[in-house]
Amino acid sequence: MSGYLLRRLLTLPLLLVGISLVSFMLLNFAPGDAAEITLLRQNGGISPSPQDVVSMRQELGLDAPLPVRYVRWVADALRGDLGESYRSGSSIAGEIARRLPATLLLASVSMAMAVAVGLPLGVLAALKRGSWLDTASRLLALVGAAVPSYVMALLLMLLFAVKLGWLPAIGYGSPKNLILPAVALSFGVMAQLMRLTRATMLEALNQDYIRTARAKGLGERVVTWRHALRNALLPVITVMGTSAGHMLGGAVIVEIIFGWPGIGQFVIVGISQRDYPVVQGFVLYLAVIFLLVNLALDVLYRWLDPRLNFNRKTA
Amino acid sequence: MIDVCGKAKRLHILLGFALVAILLMACGDSATPSRSDSAAGASGEERVLKVALVWLDEPPDPYKAGWLAVPTGLAETLFRLNSSLKPEPWLASGAMQIDPLTWEITLREGVKFHNGALMDAEKVKGSLELALLRRPGNRTLLGIESIEVKDSATLTVVTNAPKPTLPGLLTNQNTSIADPDTVPESVDDSASGAAMTGPYKMVSFSADVSMTLEAHTEYWGGRPAVDRIEYVAISESNSRMLALQSGDVDISVNLPPQGAAVVGNDASLEVKIATPSSMNFLFVNHESPAMQDVLVRQAITTAIDRQALVDSLAEGNAVAASTIFPPGFLSCSSINGYKYDPVAARNLLKEAGYEDNNGDGIVERDGQPLELVLQTYPERPLLPPMLVAVQSMLKDIGVGSDVQIVDYTLASQGGYDLFGYQNSTITTGDPHWALSRQYLTEGDENRGNFSSPKVDELIGLLADTADTGQRQQAACEALKAGHDEVALIPVIFPNLLYGISNQVNWPGEPHPVYLYFIDNKIGLK
């Protein structure tokens, strides 16, 4: 296991270089002129002269050949410098760090809500297959899968902020501001977890080892929660991992609708303004998040199922 | 299956749901609408106005982000546009052109910066010089050669070319006035320390979240109507509307037309409509083979039913565009606005040699069907549906087209026949500004590369004309020349819509230009 982990850790930089190279190329081939956008912004919408655009390209270093620009960017990134935003001139690493707490808060609360509701409901639905609880949970899962998060967000706002007046529609800073965005963001994940947990639990409960456990006289609680659930969790953990990655990457739509000042909102402005350094910095950040999440998932798999062997030599 | 979840477990679940519901209800008691908080002034408490803006993504620097500093009540410029879109003194008290290159500007007396310092000619000179130094666009726009202090209330400004419209140019938001002694060395820090002159001064700024201002009690125009303004950033238009409906904010700017209808039906809310100043139009790519023929351009502009777009697309919250200027800005009796007439449009195409010979519904010339590429960008919500509607109108006269949603800078890079765009033609209050940018060969905003020696000459004559009456005539002639050539295709002028709660006291009507949104009079009842 430790050898496997070491190998995975060693391949991380290579993967990061690959990802950053692809994103750098794609962004540079995207249509739109970052120099012109920057000047338009600075001049309050007044179009710049062609000479100004040329000098801004030089100022931003956009006149250098692509490989040179990439090498410069990687060298800076290794020192923790993701460059400066064309738009605001602020440090991108600083901006990501400044927005990270908001994104972390929203992601962690949303994930906790999704797990706290989705997992138990999935298990109970499997145990009470065909009951009203099963029907209700499947209906909820269907709604969660069918309703996009932005629709859910607007519906929640309409109901809890406009009609009932229980919660603020927008804002950041108090626990009350967190509830609606977290519910909107967690709803789809919760539905997915519930559906998946139900399916894997049903499969696990029909396995021979469960029958054996019951035959040994183990209590139903132990059989369900220690034996069946542990084995049913592997695919569920995978979904949890990828969902956590997406949430940490910034729930763009939910952040924009609720005016939540997280990374997603920062990036969407960067994308719309062709702020290449922001997008490149974000892609690198996202890559690190997903690689780390995947690594954590592998460790969790091994803990949940010791039969899994990551050592290729003895496989 | 053995039932391990008996009644007790079911009860636990139900209790859990009940707990969540109670929690939500408990939160509700204090979370409800801040409308009552905002109106607390009636009982002598602090009066706070809450406003939802679209963007708060950079600090309100007086030279770099005047687009934020001026409309929020932080900053002011020497001149501003009045409700008739003509320049009038603001921090200045007057201006006089001494010779073609020299202007004398007198300053309003008794103006105090947010730090309490008195505004005088020395400080205004320093501020303008910083604006020129830190904003290259200002140098191009103003063409200022030198600024001298004549006395404590008078500046002499020398330009590098005749600038008969200098007061209008000094309405530009990035020439707002700040105490130069308070502007930090680094442009990145300039928003935090710069003392400006507006009715409200900075308390705190958090990018993408909020900005809090407090009343500048020594404001030259009189004490501001509220003690504090809290701005929040909500880029999503539906969220801005819901935040207004829920009472989280008192004013929401830039409502979509559909949102205005919803707000209008709510008895506790009201829609304030600013007469339009921005134009939705189509750039014509004059380098595209299909667009070379003026008859084709005339056919296209004649095929567009602007009133239908006003009625359906903008739900009545717009004005059909007959020229590149909004109604009332420049009256030219010699110009007939483009009129919707599909029969005339088909005849123009026929005159240009286009006919549908193969019966496929698309006209062709020399065997080549008239198929156009229509592009626009998504940031202005009305543009994509406008282009789809235009596509349908063009189909009615036998012109095929493909709609593409792209980045807005592609308007400068060809690759299209028509490009849906929005900009303002009334900035500076003088028609020369827009005519020279939109119609002049190599004009800054001439993205379709229109070029006409006659139009260039007429715009040149306008630039050299100082007399007001003669300027009007020269402007009309230049406008007509570009209009007849269909240099670009004006479509509609959408209204700017503000949603406000009935607690807001907004004397008069909103200014047509968003730049003058917050003043010292907007407050709470």
Structure tokens at A213: 């456990």
CB contact under 8 A, B4 and A39: no
Structure tokens at A205: 């409960």
- Least confident window among A197-206, B40-49, B313-322, B428-437: B40-49
B21 pLDDT higher than 70: no
Residue A54 vs residue B270, higher pLDDT: B270
CB contact under 8 A, B243 and A266: no
How far is residue A153's CA from residue B203's CA, in Å, rounded to a whole number? 31
At A239-264, the pLDDT tens digits run 888 888 778 776 778 888 888 888 88
Predicted confidence at residue B33, as pLDDT, reads 37
CB contact under 8 A, B137 and A265: no
Averaged pLDDT of chain A? 83
Predicted confidence at residue B41, as pLDDT, reads 45
Residue B26 vs residue A35, higher pLDDT: A35
How far is residue B211's CA from residue B189's CA, in Å, rounded to a whole number? 16
Averaged pLDDT of chain B? 87
At B431-486, the pLDDT tens digits run 998 998 899 988 878 889 999 999 999 999 998 887 878 888 999 999 999 999 99
A213 pLDDT higher than 60: yes
A179 pLDDT higher than 90: yes
Q: Which of A166, A186, A211, A263 to mutate to test the interface with B (most CBs of B within 10 A)?
A: A166
Q: Return the SS3 of B238.
A: helix
Mean pLDDT of B142-167: 93
Residue of B nearest to A260 (CA): B209
Indicate the pairing of strand B92-99 with strand B102-107.
Answer: antiparallel
Backbone angles phi, psi at B390, to 5 degrees: -65, -40
Angle at A118 between CA A115 and CA A124, to 5 degrees: 125
**Does the global pTM surpass 0.90?**
no
SS (H, E, C) chain A: CHHHHHHHHHHHHHHHHHHHHHHHHHHHHCCCCHHHHHHHHHCCCCCCCHHHHHHHHHHHCCCCCHHHHHHHHHHHHHCCCCCECCCCCCEHHHHHHHHHHHHHHHHHHHHHHHHHHHHHHHHHHHHCCCCHHHHHHHHHHHHHHHCCHHHHHHHHHHHHHHHCCCCCCCCCCCHHHHHHHHHHHHHHHHHHHHHHHHHHHHHHHCCHHHHHHHHCCCCHHHHHHHHHHHHHHHHHHHHHHHHHHHHHCCCHHHHHHHCCCCHHHHHHHHHHCCCHHHHHHHHHHHHHHHHHHHHHHHHHHHHHCCCCCCCHHHC
How far is residue B431's CA from residue B414's CA, in Å, rounded to a whole number? 26
Predicted confidence at residue B213, as pLDDT, reads 96
At A50-81, the pLDDT tens digits run 777 888 888 778 888 888 888 888 888 888 88
pLDDT band at B215 (very low <50, low <70, confident <90, very high): very high
Highest mean pLDDT among A275-279, B159-163, B206-210: B159-163
Backbone angles phi, psi at A191, to 5 degrees: -65, -40
Predicted confidence at residue B44, as pLDDT, reads 64
Which residues of chain A are within 8 Å of residue B207 when distances are taken between CB atoms?
Answer: 88, 261
Task: Determine what percent of chain A is predicted with pLDDT higher than 70.
Answer: 91
CB contact under 8 A, B407 and A31: yes
A314 pLDDT higher than 60: no
Name the CA dihedral angle for A198, A203, A206, A207, rounded to a multiple of 10 degrees.
Answer: -130
CA distance A143 to chain B (A): 18
On whether any CB of chain A is under 8 Å from the CB of B5, the answer is yes
Predicted confidence at residue B319, as pLDDT, reads 93
Q: Return the SS3 of B217.
A: coil
Mean pLDDT of A12-25: 84
SS (H, E, C) B86-143: CEEECCEEEEEEEECCEEEEEECCCCECCCCCECCHHHHHHHHHHHHHHCHHHHHHHC
Predicted confidence at residue B457, as pLDDT, reads 94
A237 pLDDT higher than 90: no
How far is residue A53's CA from residue B377's CA, in Å, rounded to a whole number? 21
B163 pLDDT higher than 90: no
Predicted confidence at residue B323, as pLDDT, reads 93
With a CB-CB cutoff of 8 Å, which residues 197-256 of chain B face chain A?
206-210, 232-236, 238-239, 242-243, 245-249
B76 pLDDT higher than 60: yes
Predicted confidence at residue A87, as pLDDT, reads 67
Mean pLDDT of B146-151: 96
Which of A161, A172, A265 comes nearest B246 by C-beta? Answer: A161
Instruction: Give ipTM to 2 decimals.
Output: 0.73
Residue B405 vs residue A110, higher pLDDT: A110
Name the CA dihedral angle for A82, A83, A87, A91, rounded to a multiple of 10 degrees.
Answer: 70
With residue B402 as reference, give the H or E element that holds it.
strand B400-405
B108 pLDDT higher than 60: yes
How far is residue A231's CA from residue A205's CA, in Å, rounded to a whole number? 10
B34 pLDDT higher than 70: no
In our burial notation (b when 16+ CB lie closer than 10 A, e otherwise), range A177-205 reads: bbbbbbbbbbbbbbbbbbbbbbbbbbebb
B381 pLDDT higher than 60: yes
Predicted confidence at residue B219, as pLDDT, reads 97
Indicate the pairing of strand B251-252 with strand B496-501.
Answer: antiparallel
CA distance A177 to chain B (A): 9
Predicted confidence at residue B23, as pLDDT, reads 38
How far is residue B428's CA from residue B79's CA, in Å, rounded to a whole number? 9
How far is residue B366's CA from residue A211's CA, in Å, rounded to a whole number? 81
Predicted confidence at residue B24, as pLDDT, reads 38
Strand partners, B499: B252, B271
CB contact under 8 A, B424 and A45: yes
- Least confident window among A173-177, B248-252, B519-523: A173-177
